[in-house]
Amino acid sequence: MSHIQEDTNAAYCPISLTSTPSGLRHIIASRQKTLIENVLAPVGITGYDPENAPYSPDNNATAQSEEICTVDTGKIIGARYFMGHSILPSTGMGVELKTAEFLNRMIILLTDNNIRDTRMKVLEGLNLGYNNFKKQAPRFREVLQFLQQYTPGTGLRNGRPILLGFRNNNDNNPIDLEDAVDIDFPDLKYIHRGEIDPVKQKPTDLSQFYENRISLDTTDNLTKIT
């Protein structure tokens, strides 16, 4: 994948597809649409949406793991930003998130402060919160306009990895982007709400978890083990 060049005006927008309950899919899709069309596009950033891509599990159920990982890793490599909603108990983006961290992309995770989601967030990136994403879209555009002034780097603060920003004018004095965004955009601070009940993800077909095996007993009769 060494031939893939980073596009400073591109974003990989992760979305939970396989594990999202059917009743929530349209809500997740709506917020993804708002992100791509109302936040990214107005500031000149093109968002890649895995849901509507040829390799989406809804569009392609036969592609194997190696092919999917190759395609999506390439999309992450080719994008400066990794920006998406983290509003489910299981985000459905764990592998992609760690890939983006490894590649030192500008990671922005968006969490609805009225929903209890996973506390496993990102260290080298921004964890931002909102109360009404559509209404607050202009503020997130301002965050991106601020970030567009910087090239990402990585550093340590009290032994913890952090996302640094180097001014695009070749300034050699980086800033802590997490601190800077917290100061300039206090209304977008992420707050974990432990008192809220988490969303329940109910399985629809428990039989998938049954281990049906065929074995031979000592009398050479077939025995079904459940």
Q: Which pLDDT tens digit goes with each residue over 126-143?
A: 999 999 999 999 999 999
Please give the biggest Cα pair distance in the chain: 80
Mean residue pLDDT of the chain comes to: 84
pLDDT value, residue 66: 83
Q: What is the pLDDT of residues 68-98, one digit of tens each?
A: 788 889 999 999 999 999 887 767 788 888 9
pLDDT value, residue 214: 53
Mean pLDDT for 195-213 is 72
At residue 171, the 3 state secondary structure works out as: coil
Answer for the pair 55, 47: CB distance below 8 angstroms, yes or no: no
Answer for the pair 116, 193: CB distance below 8 angstroms, yes or no: yes
What is the third-level CATH fold of 7-198? Answer: Rossmann fold (3.40.50)
In whole angstroms, give the CA distance from residue 133 to residue 212.
46
pLDDT value, residue 209: 73
Residue with tokens 């967030």: 121
pLDDT at 222 exceeding the cut of 70: no
Distance (Å) of CA 153 to CA 72, 162, 169: 22, 9, 15
**pTM greater than the 0.85 cutoff:** no
pLDDT at 194 exceeding the cut of 60: yes
pLDDT value, residue 180: 96
